[in-house]
Chains A and B, each alone.
Chain A
């Protein structure tokens, strides 16, 4: 199988896990996650709340073998919590940027602050990042669960100096740039 004349499938890294997608039949899946990001300029600090449908996220983590017990139990285990945080951090990346194509190479170092499981079926993860001066804007990569749920849609609301901006992330647009002037 060829990607193009000189790109073979073998070039892709193969990780062994077993996933069946039966998600389209689960009429009550949400495929939506949302991040509330607030930039506190005077402290050069970012405070983030990630709101995810717990059922979707658990389904994703369990079936991709990233955790071995239900989400709520996994979050009582420090090792599994670390794995979950790493998973989030690899799909939710913030960088200071001058433009949509010109951003610093250093990602914001997101510090995990905790989580809260809401009784309406949502789970909120809290992160912060300090010493993150923002120049012209912020570049955000947010494709959590998109490789697993083709219908996944993620949104963020970025608040800076009491002004809100919202961006939408889809499987074909996983990066967004927000100018903060």
Chain B
């Protein structure tokens, strides 16, 4: 081959190759090169390391002024191979500073200030943020530090060498935020009726940043959405609060003998042996405590081992119940703390939900190994910390609640308790990738909800629930692989779409057995470590032998929606060569052809045509019977029969039906074809074709299906598995799909809060 012709061929072949490789190209360029810290299989490498940060902390809550005072000693161990000249710490409270970046970067227009209160809101002053008082070494020498908004750098006199530690002390205080006015993941709620406070406290201390092989120091500023990236460590925390407060915290309380009554301790011991919740503080007792406010202090001491953070809740309003659940060989004490305002929902469900959640997550991910799991009632929000989370779900003042409120409360507790696994145990970089904790957690939340109640109305997970979001202008959709702060549609993108994608992998692409093994492998590999997206993508492939690069590319790196249509259907039958059969078929076909209206009308209006009057007009062609089986037909058929095998003849006479179906990829996101055929006898058959059918031609493909029976109708994605955004083009013949409006009209009924209605019925009956 000469050079010219080679080049010509090359110029033709290469574009075709590249074109066909677009959606199925490997992720070699997108994923980081594997190394000794992180392997190409997705597992931690033989030189994987992670830093350790241990904290000894003394916290005091000033319940009169709603201030928090703290002193902490941090011991930071450098397990990296690098010398560290300085340390970075996170000052997350600073995002509530009056001039914080999180406020400055909010887009505003004059239209946002249409009322006095809009302006008041804009000018609302809350003196938030850490007031750092001192940073010193354990020998008392002051350390140099520099604060850059939500990050603080401590400069070291000499670099911290590999495999060495440094300890230092920080003193600080801050004004605790009114969560209902200022907002925030933590803060206080004031109950004006009896003038009490319920504190849910977190991000309350300067916390070490992560230093690792992926990001170096993860010191990206906290802008409010991308949450926290934290190293593991051990905590010893003493919390001083008014003597009648009850404190729930990350870890195990070390001094119950000092802070609980003998009766409470006895109930707690009983709860440790019970598989149903036991009340340690009853509603009656809590109501009594909240009336008689004590001001003398009491100190609660907690220890937590190998956790990435510490949070606590404190109030004199708390009821408290607990039960045991066994995970593997370990007993876990599941507990709930809630004010009377949370009842009757909380006493009935919270702790049972905690137990169910850690049990189910342990099955799908990795065993829960912490000693306690706690759910605290905190109006309006859901927020997670190791072993403890703050959850909404408040009934109405009359004690009734709607069914929606109940499901909302169930969902938030399962979700937040589930965060113990993502990211508290499988400790991903939340500041960078929201989906790695929220998306994975929302997926397992879905599995957990379905095991709580059959047909649980999960908000996210099933593929069809994401369809409305995924259609439309792609400019307004971010790829899942987008930094947390830059996501359009945080909820749909970081929670809904990844959860849907994993559900599709499990139900449609990989199957439950392969998926569950691979997902668990990822979780076991990265428990108590810091995984990155590549570690997840690679582990899922490594443990399943399924090439998923096309799936990650489409679902995680792309914004295309799924919209695959049935473009056309062609029906074929085998030619039996038997003239009797074939000419009969032709006759039937011709007779059933549509006839022009003029032909029908002429039958009446033209009484006799010329050739009907004059026999001489009709010649051979006019008189011949096209469907007559003549001698030649018979001879030819006999000759054919003599040549053909018996088995081939049987096949020709088998009456097989051939259907060539054309499929169009309108949305762009390649997916498997799941096709349901309904036959004339109403029986059904489902055929599943892997997504690789699109590997060469991404826009249009065809496939031939052979059946014994005639097909009456065809449906694409009949089980709503793929998130197809337009179901109108999924059927043959085209079937009308009722709109939500039409469905509503069909099932219209009277609605009322059923519990309130029931109350009214009871009252009427009494009267």
Contact = CB atoms under 8 A, between A and B. Distances in A.
Contacts of B459: 120-122
Contacts of B106: 150
Contact of B491 (A3, A16, A31, A166): A31
B182 interface: yes
Contacts of B408: 55, 121
A119 B457 CA distance: 6
B731 to A, nearest CB: 11
B112 A147 contact: yes
Given A120-B459, A162-B734, A24 B183 contact: yes
Contact of B383 (A19, A27, A164, A167): A27
B184 interface: yes
Interface string B463-502: 0010011011101100000000000111110010000000
A171 B476 CA distance: 12
B491 A30 contact: yes
Contact of A20 (B181, B403, B739, B752): B181
A48 interface: yes
Nearest to B491: A30
B404 interface: yes
A117 B457 CA distance: 12
B753 interface: yes
A124 B121 contact: no
Contacts of A122: 459
A41 B182 CA distance: 50
B184 A25 contact: yes
Contacts of A34: 468-469
A119 B403 contact: yes
Name the residue among A28, A48, A55 with the largest chain B CB count within 10 angstroms: A28
B437 to A, nearest CB: 11
Given A27-B381, A76-B752, A116 B744 contact: yes
A26 B380 contact: yes
Interface residues of B, number: 72
Nearest to B108: A150
Contacts of B403: 119
A92 interface: no
Considering residues A18, A24, A25, A26, which has the most beta carbons from chain B within 10 angstroms of its beta carbon?
A25
B61 interface: no
A72 to B, nearest CB: 5
Contacts of B120: 18
Nearest to B225: A24
B726 interface: yes
Contacts of B748: 114
Interface in A4-25: 9, 12-25
B185 interface: yes
B728 interface: yes
A80 interface: no
A88 to B, nearest CB: 15
Contacts of B184: 22, 25
B207 interface: no
A22 B179 contact: yes
Contacts of B681: none
B472 A164 contact: no
A26 B379 CA distance: 11
Contacts of B488: 153
B292 to A, nearest CB: 32
B180 A119 contact: no
A72 B491 contact: no
Interface in B210-247: 224-225
A136 interface: no
Given A22-B182, A28-B412, A117 B739 contact: no
Interface in A125-179: 126, 128, 147, 150-151, 153, 155, 157, 159, 162, 164, 166-168, 170-171
A106 to B, nearest CB: 22
A170 B102 CA distance: 21
B739 A36 contact: yes
B667 to A, nearest CB: 11
Nearest to B403: A119
A15 B121 contact: no
B471 A157 contact: yes
Interface in B386-417: 396, 402-404, 407-408, 411-412, 415
B407 A128 contact: no
Nearest to B111: A147
A16 B115 CA distance: 6
Contacts of B283: none
28 contacts: A14-B114, A15-B114, A18-B120, A20-B183, A21-B121, A22-B179, A24-B224, A25-B183, A27-B381, A28-B491, A47-B739, A49-B739, A49-B741, A51-B468, A72-B753, A73-B753, A75-B751, A113-B741, A113-B744, A117-B402, A120-B459, A121-B411, A153-B476, A155-B471, A159-B728, A166-B473, A166-B725, A168-B475
Interface of A: 3, 9, 12-32, 34, 36, 38, 47-49, 51, 54-55, 70, 72-73, 75-76, 113-114, 116-122, 124, 126, 128, 147, 150-151, 153, 155, 157, 159, 162, 164, 166-168, 170-171
Closest 4 CB pairs of A and B: A22-B183, A119-B457, A49-B740, A166-B472
